[in-house]
Structure 1
Amino acid sequence: MSRSLENMTALVTGASSGIGRATASLLARSKARVALVGRRQAALEELATECGSLASAYPCDMTDDTQLKGLATRLQADFARIDILVHSAGIIKLGRTETSPVADLDAQYAANVRGPYILTQLLLPLLRAVSGQIVFVNSLITRVNNTGGRGSYAATQQAVHSIANALRDEVNEAGVRVTTIFPGTTATQRQVNLHEISGKRYDPDRMLQPEDVAEAVLFALTIGRTAEITDLYLRPMLKPLV
């Protein structure tokens, strides 16, 4: 039996665009209070206006420890509870292992692994208190072998999946659910940029839509409390894109 999100509080990172934006919008339409987290304040405020009184903007750089701690402090002051944490923020840097700058690996690790790790640590007491749920929006790249040119990004996604699996073992006894969503290629501005860099034709009709992934997140959140979706994979209907 599905459950309502009404009166719950959800935090969505990467909410200024793409999957994060679609997810935050859907959660607000599902009557959850939504904290919109991202780097671009104007985009967050625009979305907050669209969502109405249920959404608020919280600008934050996920790679800045001080900002993350400040975010957690503000959230605890503004909300009586945090029920849902959706990690959708992240970056990708293309490059061959032989030649790509180590700085690109470091930047991806900071945004894709370290930031979510720290924010989860900071909010876990609140999530434990209400038997909440954490959702990591990962990537289907963790399930394919043709990762040439994307090795450092794939490594960060594997790392955060390992963190999610360990976290589940640690918090399930408190009633906290941990879910990882693995979407294939999704029609976002990130994909527009990646296709321009690689010189490939961008065809959004052959890709998942951000709203598809948002629906998967909502499904994982609203399934009855006697169940936990651990890993959920999404592929575009039109193959062979992944």
Structure 2
Amino acid sequence: MTVQNTSLSGQPTATATIGIIGAMDEEIHQLTADLLDGQTFQHQGSTFHQGRLFGQQVLITKCGIGKVNAAMTTQALLSLGIQKIIFTGVAGGVTPGLQVGDIVISTDLIQHDVDVTPLGYQLGLIPDEQFSWNADEQLQALALESAQQIEGIHAVKGRIASGDQFIASKDRVRWMHDTFQVAAAEMEGAAVAQVASKWGVPFVVIRSLSDTADGEANVDYRSFMPLVAIRAKSVVRGMLQRM
């Protein structure tokens, strides 16, 4: 299972079936460091790391921050033949009671910053698209089972909201929870979900909470990023070992 650099189209192709995406280097370096027989290549503007990880052949990539970057990278990943997508990284907690270090596993994802209400559309709905994109139930179950086996980790399933905004306001968090009933807020997952759904490829988004998105996010995020990256890696490891 290798990446071939001499396909008929002149583009690399992959026989690995599992793609793993993170928005930042800190969110994937724990995984790329453990790759066996690792190779790196460029494709459609993204850097891909291929190899064996915890018994599975995977492609790992960083998409960058924001929905456009996430959508472009997901499209590139899917064009290589990936059949399952795991997005791993950090998020801000929205549901009251969630704590830094908790893990939220996506049931579905929405885009909270979409507003076409002047034309009569529901808040958050992109015209001619569905309101939310459902994560694969089997991948959800694998992620939850893996998280629950890790000592000291509290994991929940819930809706995740994405937008091109870093949420650091108590009022905005309260509005987001009341309006969309979301558990966590971040900046990429719904774009990954939208593209993967169009391809018919199962996906799940796993977010470890680096802050509570309540006005202290600028402090908590920097302090807890290394810890939550390690916890997210532990969940991905458990999933791959169970596949």
Q: Aligning the two structures, in what range does the TM-score lie when normalised by the shorter sequence?
A: 0.3 to 0.5
- Higher RCO (Cα < 8 Å, 6 or more apart): 2
Q: Higher strand fraction: Structure 1 or Structure 2?
A: 2
